[in-house]
Every structure is written in C-alpha cells, then in structure tokens.
A and B are shown apart, each in its own frame.
Chain A
Amino acid sequence: MPQLIDDSHGFADLERAHVRATYLPDFEWTAYGEPSPRNRLSVPLRDARVGLVDTSGAHVAGTPPVGSSGRAALIPVDAEIALTHPGFDVERALRDPDVVHPVHALRRLAERGVIGEVASTTVSVMGGVLIAQRLLDRGVPATVQAMSEQQVDLVLLVPV
C-alpha cells in the first residue's frame, strides 16, 4: 500500500477563489462548530443493510438530471444510469460507474458476507451545488427519507 499523504492542503482556498471569480462572488464554505453525532451500528456489519448515497449527479438513464437544484435522484441498484455533473469527467466514469457509484463493489461485499445486503434504492445528488441551502432544503430531507424508509443500518456516502 502506498504511504498516504494529504496533498490537498490549500485546495479549499483555491476552490473558494475560483467559485467567487467564476460563479458566485459571495461564496463561502459551510462550516459547523460541532460535529454531527455518531450513531453506532445496531447490528454487526455482516448483517447490515447498507445504503449508498453519492454526489456524482447520477440519474436513471432517460430521466432528467437533477442539476444544481439540490434535489436528489432515487436510483434502483439495478438501473442503467446516466451521469450529469459539470465538475468531473463523466465520460471516463461512465466506462465504469463504480468509480463514483459503487453498487457492484457493495454487491460483491454482500456476496462475500462482509455486509448483509445492499439497500435496493440508492440516492444521488449533483454535488456541485454552490448554494448549500438548496441541498439542505431538498436533497437532505429526500435522502433521509429514502434511507429511513429502506430501514438501512448503515449509509456509505461517496463524493466525487
């Protein structure tokens, strides 16, 4: 395994400056003074139903993308997906969507008995939402509802 080095120091300042110069002059990162609470797994991982949430801008092929609305797309794990996101190379990711939307990796873990099962519906938002309130108003409640209704034991969240 390679030695892990956090090479990203300074990126937040660079990205803030880029967003302010290009899109939103008063952009600022959303910051919290306290972490959100940790909820312990209520079952062993090998028995857990695991949900997937990502910010790849995935949506069911043939349906409209969610865009920068902050809305969440609900995607069955078996669905053919499209990726619509201005912030990364979606053509590359479409050759193997697991690089941002790892449903097959989760399924292999279920087959190996590492987890119990994969929740049947995944959630994806287009993560390049500059106005965080849009995500808080739309994407967050939809994500919580989707995961709660599926009675997941654990959610894995994947950024791009």
Chain B
Amino acid sequence: MCQQSVGLLQRGLDDAGIATVSLTLVPEITAMVSPSLSCFVAMPFGLSLGDVGDTATHEAIVEAALHEAERDHPAGTIVPLPFAWTRDDLRARQLRKESL
C-alpha cells in the first residue's frame, strides 16, 4: 500500500511544480499511480534502504536516486537501480504475504 501512497504524495508535489524522485519496491503498483520519476530497488518492505546498520547501502541508494533526478527521463519513468536484498528470503516471503 505504501507504494501507492508514495505515488499519490509524489503526484501532488509534481502538480505543484516541485522536482521529485521516489523509490519503489513494487514497480507494478507505482506504474498504476504513475508519478513523474521513480527508482526500483528490490529491498524488503520496512528495509527500503537496505539492512539495519548498512549505512553504505543506505547512502548509495539515496545518492543513486537523487542523481536520477538530474537526468532527462520522460514523465512516468521507473528506473531500476542495482540494489537488491541478498541476505535471506525475507523479501520473497513478504511478496508471498508470508511475512511482515
């Protein structure tokens, strides 16, 4: 649900003339809301920027997303970023609705 909520907030900012970029964990939901620019990272729900204490990944994801805002993407673009959860199957279980 949070992917939809982020998209709705982003659309409001876009319509107000403010530059934006968002992250998404589920591109197919973001594509329905269709905000101006989003970046896909395959992280678990609740660990959107990576694992607890993994400051390097947090910073790298934020930096990569912000740099996409400088690029000339058409409205509605979802950019895949090279970050994915590899520690365990948490994301897979969440996507099957088997875990928070």
Contact = CB atoms under 8 A, between A and B. Distances in A.
What does DSSP make chain B's interface, helix, strand, loop or mixed? mixed
B19 to A, nearest CB: 4
A154 B5 contact: no
Contacts of A129: 1, 5
A67 interface: no
Interface residues of A, number: 77
B98 to A, nearest CB: 11
Contacts, number: 260
Which of the four size classes fits the interface of chain B? 35 or more
A92 B52 contact: yes
Contacts of A159: 2-3, 5-6, 22-25, 48
Contact of A100 (B36, B46, B66): B46
12 contacts: A8-B28, A8-B42, A36-B10, A36-B36, A93-B46, A99-B48, A130-B1, A132-B4, A132-B8, A140-B8, A153-B19, A158-B23
Instruction: List 10 A-B pairs, minimum CB-CB distance, nearest first.
Output: A35-B76, A88-B46, A127-B2, A36-B14, A140-B12, A157-B22, A127-B5, A1-B82, A159-B2, A35-B75
